[in-house]
């Protein structure tokens, strides 16, 4: 998975400009992701790519459109030194995996990296960095494809294992 490198304090307006908030289709939003910030992103991002950023990624407004746009662009993982609290939760809610890595600034643009959640590390070209552990319940939400899908899965399990009348 290839990385797209960004700096500190990338706000939700940089991820998806406010003029596109009338759209809800992830692919339409993805076509405008980082417009005015990094023009090559929308056309170049591919399924499975990752974003690497500095501190406070996703600051600004709490719009859910930002992680939806990234998911629509094929991004599955965002690695940052830190995240804005609401963005972090919105990312999980739409099925994006936010990983906190205090040394994310060492990861170069375009690196091909692997993530090992069990060992809490990311690796590329012989380099290895620690990431903060991701709680199991958050992994389950992300694995389900987001909070709505997770809730639907849990309801189906409950319904299937419930008593019959």
Domains of the chain: 3-134 (3.20.19.10)
User: Would you call 4 helix, strand, or coil by DSSP?
Assistant: strand
C-alpha dihedral (153, 155, 157, 159), degrees to nearest 10: -150
Instruction: Give per-residue burial for 113-128: e unless 16+ CB within 10 Å, then b.
Output: bebeeeeeebebeeee
pTM of the model: 0.90
The C-alpha angle with vertex 53 and arms to 48 and 55, in degrees rounded to 5, equals 145
Cβ–Cβ under 8 Å, residues 30 and 75: no
Q: What is the pLDDT of residue 161?
A: 53
User: How far apart are alpha carbons 34 and 40 in whole angstroms?
Assistant: 9
Give the separation between CA 95 and CA 36, rounded to whole angstroms. Answer: 25
Q: In sequence order, which residues have a C-beta less than 8 Å from that of residue 16 and are 6 or more positions away?
A: 29, 32, 33, 35, 63, 65, 66, 69
User: Residue 49 has what pLDDT?
Assistant: 97
Question: Tens place of pLDDT for every residue, the chain, 165 residues?
Answer: 799 999 999 999 999 999 999 999 999 999 999 999 998 999 999 999 999 999 999 999 888 999 999 999 999 999 999 999 999 999 999 999 999 999 999 999 999 999 999 999 999 999 999 999 999 999 999 999 999 999 988 776 555 555 444
């Amino acid at each position: 998975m290839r990385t797209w490198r960004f700096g500190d304090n990338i706000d939700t307006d940089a991820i998806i400009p406010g003029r596109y908030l009338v759209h809800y289709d992830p692919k339409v939003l993805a076509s405008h992701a980082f417009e005015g910030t990094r023009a090559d992103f929308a056309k170049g991002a591919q399924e499975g790519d990752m974003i690497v950023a500095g501190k406070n990624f996703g600051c600004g407004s709490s719009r859910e459109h930002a992680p939806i746009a990234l998911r629509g662009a094929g991004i599955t993982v965002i690695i940052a030194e830190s995240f804005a609290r609401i963005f972090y939760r919105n990312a999980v809610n739409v099925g994006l995996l936010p990983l906190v890595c205090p040394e994310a600034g060492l990861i170069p643009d375009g690196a091909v990296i692997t993530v090992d959640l069990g060992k809490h590390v990311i690796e590329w070209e012989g380099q290895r960095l620690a990431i903060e552990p991701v709680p199991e319940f958050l992994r389950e939400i992300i694995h389900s494809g987001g909070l709505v899908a997770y809730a639907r899965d849990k309801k189906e399990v409950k319904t299937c294992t419930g008593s019959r009348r």
